[in-house]
Chain A
Amino acid sequence: MTATSTPPASRLRGRDTVRVAFSGLRARPLRAVLSALGIAVGIAAMVAVVGISASSREQVNDQLRQLGTNLLTITPGQQLTGGEAKLPPDSVDMVARVGPVTAVSAIGTVDDASVFRNQHIPEEQTNGLSVNAARPDLLDTISGTVASGRWLDDALAQFPTVVLGADAAERLGINRTDGSGQVWLGGEWFTVVGILDPVPLAPELDSSVLIGWPVAADLLGFDGSPTTIYERSDEDAVDDVRAVLPATANPDHPEEVSVSRPSDALAAQAAADETLTTLLLALGGVALLVGGIGVANTMVIAVLERRSEIGLRRALGATRAHVRRQFLGESVLLAGLGGIGGAALGGVVTAAFAQTRDWPFALPVWVLAGAAAATVLVGAIAGAYPAARAARMPPTAALATV
């Protein structure tokens, strides 16, 4: 008479576990949405931070691809005695003779010349704008573009005409390039014929005004020594060229010459943003943690409120493990829904931000995978204690409603 066999085991299908976990959320949609929102905010913050920084990096990469990384700039540097060094006037031609070099141009700062809106402004009141003589091939060499008007061609370079850098135009308050705008430059009126776009590879040009090389010599006593030489060569010869440039540009004092690669500076600037990204990411992590506490709180309350449901499920044959899985599943679902919402929100924020900045949209897949993993983890941790409590509840106590 004593039973030796045992009854067939209780079984809850995987699909039914999900269904049961989901039904718990559906019973109180507002509460589910609100506690998922906490997770969503954290995930959205983290996804947006990574997405925006990835988009910004992508933008710099795009820019570098477009501008090229083969531009080198040569400046005279310092004399050993401390004074300003000078490059010989024929240094531009000498650089052009280096084999792999494909383009060379230069600007020369016209010392003692300042530029003003009109002649009534006192000379001492400098405005930080430098006056540079520019060679006609400058714009092509530095991949610069004209925002309005025209560039100084060989003909215009003979006359008192000027092209303004982007910042310079703004500071002088000039936006007309139809020949009606004039600036007071080194004691002469110069007609504004063009305004440049910002030049990423030569930001020093943004705050300068550019005049023709001949007119600088004729009217302002420019001595013809270049202060910055811009040079492009074959991409794979950049290092070789760089090695010979000092001796080429200034054979008498190669040790004074300084050569730099502006694309490096751009890339470094993008990398510097990474510190801020890390900080913001940590803040997003804190938000996620707070969201996780919200989920845990919701689950603790759910277990207390649903004692009779737990008792009923035990009476229907649920094992402790089934009850635990149900509440754990509910918690993971809750966090997961927040995670999906947050990832979508973060993606939208990234896209909107990239749009306003004219950046390309970039959101690495690992960010989404990481967000998914993070929410599952948060949900599991938040639900572990409430689920264990629900599972431990004796069925009779759970059924005894007061």
Chain B
Amino acid sequence: MSTRIQAAATAPVAVADTRDPVVLLRDVRRIYPGHPPVRALDGVDLQIDPGELVGIVGPSGSGKTTLLNVLGTLDRADAGVVRVDGYDVEELSDRQLSAMRAHRIGFVFQQFFLSPGVTALDNVADGLLYTGLAQRNRRARARRTLTRVGLADRTHHKPHQLSGGQRQRVAVARALVGQPALLLADEPTGALDSASGAAVLELLHELRDTGTTIVVITHDHGVAAELPRQVHILDGRIESDERTAER
């Protein structure tokens, strides 16, 4: 509790910004119990504004996935303030967090997690499954989103009929179809060769240009260098936060 008060005191919320930040972390801690306990996040402060494309970079075990889980409300911080899309995560129930993920947050995973035996179209439409939208509307929006990621001609292909890069683009489309305020990608290029990885990154850049807020986790400095903002994390702490000149 004291950490939260302190956090609020040391870092007054940036009211100056006309637009509310999509992500606001203040002294966030996540400690996995054990012997010894692991401080996966050890006092993280982070603010991400709408439309930003942010890379989270760090070596293996530095706490990137833990950070992403906290940002995505899949996991709760042990201490600190986590505010996503204007909601204080601490105050929301499990059901409300689910609602956040259904409507406001999109995920892309390293292993894609597409449903086997289900067409690209329906995999993407599943991104809207828990919004209560009717299947017809889900499919219509999925079709538009697949077109957006350049897979208009692959709607009825099943995951095993797609290349790795195409699969990841389907996964991106599924994360995007609900027009989330925040798109979180954990090593989206980790399972891809460099060409496919570059294509996926290119896609993320394009999305960013249309105003989607995107957080990409990577341990690949080459990938990170391409991103307009890089947050370096080490042992659960933010080491540096750099913005490169806009492309």
Contacts and interface: CB of A to CB of B under 8 A. Distances in A.
Given A6-B92, A7-B100, A10-B130, A1 B86 contact: yes
Given A13-B132, A13-B134, A318-B130, A7 B104 contact: yes
A327 B117 CA distance: 19
Contact of B74 (A11, A322, A399): A399
B239 interface: no
Contacts of A11: 102, 130-132
Dominant secondary structure at the A interface: helix
Interface string B97-140: 01111111001010101011110000000110111101100000
| Residue of A318, A322, A396, A401 most packed against chain B (CB within 10 A) | A396
A1 B94 contact: no
B130 A3 contact: no
Contacts of A258: none
Interface string A310-331: 0111111111111000000000
A175 interface: no
Interface residues of B, number: 40
A8 interface: yes
Contact of B118 (A6, A15, A23): A23
Nearest to A308: B113
B99 A320 contact: no
A10 B73 CA distance: 14
A395 B70 CA distance: 11
A2 interface: yes
A309 B130 contact: no
Contact of A396 (B20, B75, B118, B129): B75
Contacts of B174: 316
B195 interface: no
A308 B111 contact: yes
B173 to A, nearest CB: 13
A19 B103 CA distance: 21
7 contacts: A7-B96, A7-B104, A9-B96, A11-B131, A315-B74, A315-B107, A320-B94
Closest 10 CB pairs of A and B: A317-B102, A11-B132, A317-B130, A10-B102, A319-B98, A3-B87, A395-B74, A317-B101, A7-B99, A10-B130
Interface of A: 1-3, 6-13, 15-16, 19-20, 23, 26-27, 308-309, 311-322, 394-396, 399, 401
Interface of B: 13, 15, 20, 69, 72, 74-75, 83, 85-88, 92, 94-96, 98-104, 107, 109, 111, 113, 115-118, 126-127, 129-132, 134-135, 174
